[in-house]
C-alpha cells in the first residue's frame, strides 16, 4: 500500500522536491523568489466524510481538501508549493485509502502542487469501525510586495462573486441532521437537483487558483467563503473602517440550498451564516477594474460593494 501511495505521489513532484513520501521528512528546495513569504494553511473535510462513507464513495474527498487549502492560501496571492495529508481510520481499508489518495493526487497535479508526504494512522480506540478523518496541510509562497491582505480595500470598491459548486466542505452537520446519513436517504432523487441528494452533497469543492492567478495584480482582496458563509468570512479581509453590503438578488442561490432551507425550515439568516449560498469566493476590486475581471471570469457577478462601517454589522445582505 505504501509503495502504491508513493507512486501516486511521485506523479505530482516538482523539480524542487528532494525527498518525498517514505522518508522521515519531505525536502523541498526553495528558489526563484527575491523576498519570499511562506503561506500555510491546514483544514479538514469535516462531516462530509460521513456522506462519503454512507455511499462508500471516497474518490472526491481528496479533491475537497486540496482545493479548500489551495483557495485559502490563494487569498494572500500565494502559489501552492507542496501538500501533506493526514488520514486516520478505525480500520485501515486499502481500497479506501487508495481512492482518497487518487483524489489528492489529481487535485495537486491540477495546480502544480507536490504531494510531498503524509501519515496514515489506524486508531480503533478513537475511530469506530470504518470511520475516518482527512486533514490537509499546504505550504505556498508569494513575493512580499505582492501579498494580498485587503489593506487597500476602500469605500466604493466592488465585490465580485465566483459561484460555488454546492456546499463545498461546510454545513454538513446541519444537512445530516435534516436528511439523515443513511444510504437510502442519500439515494433519493430530487427533481430540483437533477440527481440524488448524495450526488449533490459529494460535489467537489471548487478550486479558483487558475481562474484568479492571472488577475491577482488588480485584486485588492479575496475571501474564501467557507464555514460561516459571507457573514463570517468577508470581515476577515476588511479593515474596521469599512463593511460589505450584498444584494442577494444579484445571483441565483443553487437549488441544493433551497432544498435544505425548505426541508429543514431554516431561517434566511441562518442559511447565510452556515452555508456559502452559491458564492465560493468573494473578490474585491476597484470599480475601474470590474470590466476586466467580469470579462475574464464569465460566471462571475458583481454581488455587492464596500460601504462605510456604521454600527456593529460588518456584512449586510439585502
Buried b (16+ CB within 10 A) or exposed e, 114-127: bbbbbebeeeeeeb
- Which fold would CATH assign to domain 2-146? 60s Ribosomal Protein L30; Chain: A; (3.30.1330)
The cell for 292 is 476586466
Could you please report the per-residue DSSP string of 191-257?
TTTTEEHHHHHTPPPP--HHHHGGGGGG--EEEE--TTHHHHHGGGGS-TTEEEEE-GGGSPPPHHH
Indicate whether 1 pLDDT > 60. Answer: no
When the candidates are 3.30.530.20, 3.90.650.10, 3.40.1350.10, 3.30.360.10, the CATH number that belongs to 158-317 is: 3.90.650.10
Q: Taking residues 153-163, report their average pLDDT.
A: 97
Residues of the chain above pLDDT 70, percent = 96
Q: What is the pairing mode between strands 189-190 and 221-224?
A: unpaired
Give the residue extent of every domain in the chain. 2-146, 158-317
Q: Taking residues 108-114, report their average pLDDT.
A: 96
* pTM for the structure as a whole: 0.94
Tens of pLDDT, residues 250-290: 999 999 999 999 999 999 999 999 999 999 999 999 999 99
Indicate whether 236 pLDDT > 60. Answer: yes
* pLDDT score of 20: 67
Q: What is the pairing mode between strands 79-89 and 114-122?
A: parallel
Phi-psi region of 166 (alpha: psi -120 to 50; beta: other; left: phi over 0): left
CB atoms within 10 A of CB 279: 29
Tens of pLDDT, residues 33-90: 899 999 999 999 999 999 999 999 999 999 999 999 999 999 999 999 999 999 999 9
Amino acid at each position: 500500500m505504501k509503495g502504491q501511495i508513493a507512486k501516486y505521489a511521485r506523479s505530482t513532484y516538482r523539480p524542487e522536491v528532494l525527498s518525498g513520501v517514505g522518508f522521515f521528512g519531505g525536502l523541498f528546495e526553495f528558489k526563484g523568489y527575491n523576498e519570499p513569504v511562506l503561506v500555510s494553511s491546514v483544514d479538514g473535510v469535516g462531516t462530509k466524510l460521513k456522506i462519503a462513507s454512507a455511499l462508500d464513495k471516497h474518490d472526491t474527498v481528496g479533491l475537497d481538501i486540496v482545493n479548500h487549502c489551495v483557495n485559502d492560501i490563494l487569498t494572500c496571492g500565494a502559489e501552492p508549493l507542496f501538500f501533506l495529508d493526514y488520514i486516520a481510520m478505525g480500520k485501515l481499508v486499502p481500497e479506501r485509502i487508495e481512492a482518497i489518495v487518487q483524489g489528492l493526487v489529481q487535485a495537486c497535479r491540477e495546480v502544480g502542487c507536490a504531494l510531498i508526504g503524509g501519515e496514515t494512522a489506524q486508531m480503533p480506540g478513537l475511530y469506530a469501525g470504518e470511520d475516518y478523518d482527512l486533514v490537509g496541510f499546504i505550504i505556498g509562497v508569494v513575493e512580499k510586495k505582492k501579498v494580498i491582505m485587503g489593506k487597500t480595500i476602500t469605500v466604493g470598491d466592488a465585490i465580485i462573486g465566483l459561484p460555488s459548486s454546492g456546499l463545498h466542505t461546510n454545513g454538513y452537520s446541519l444537512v445530516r441532521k435534516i436528511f439523515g446519513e443513511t444510504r437510502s436517504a442519500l439515494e433519493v432523487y430530487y427533481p430540483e437537483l437533477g440527481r440524488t441528494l448524495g450526488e449533490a452533497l459529494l460535489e467537489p469543492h471548487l478550486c479558483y487558483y487558475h481562474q484568479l492567478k492571472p488577475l491577482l495584480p488588480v485584486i485588492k482582496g479575496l475571501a474564501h467563503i467557507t464555514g460561516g458563509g459571507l457573514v463570517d468570512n468577508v470581515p476577515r479581509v476588511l479593515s474596521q473602517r469599512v463593511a460589505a453590503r450584498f444584494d442577494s438578488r444579484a445571483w441565483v442561490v443553487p437549488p441544493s440550498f433551497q432544498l435544505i432551507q425548505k426541508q429543514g425550515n431554516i431561517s434566511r439568516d441562518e442559511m447565510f451564516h452556515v452555508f456559502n449560498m452559491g458564492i465560493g469566493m468573494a473578490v474585491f476590486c476597484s470599480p475601474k477594474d470590474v470590466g476586466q475581471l467580469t470579462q475574464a471570469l464569465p460566471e462571475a457577478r458583481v454581488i455587492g460593494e464596500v460601504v462605510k462601517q456604521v454600527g456593529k454589522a460588518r456584512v449586510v445582505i439585502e
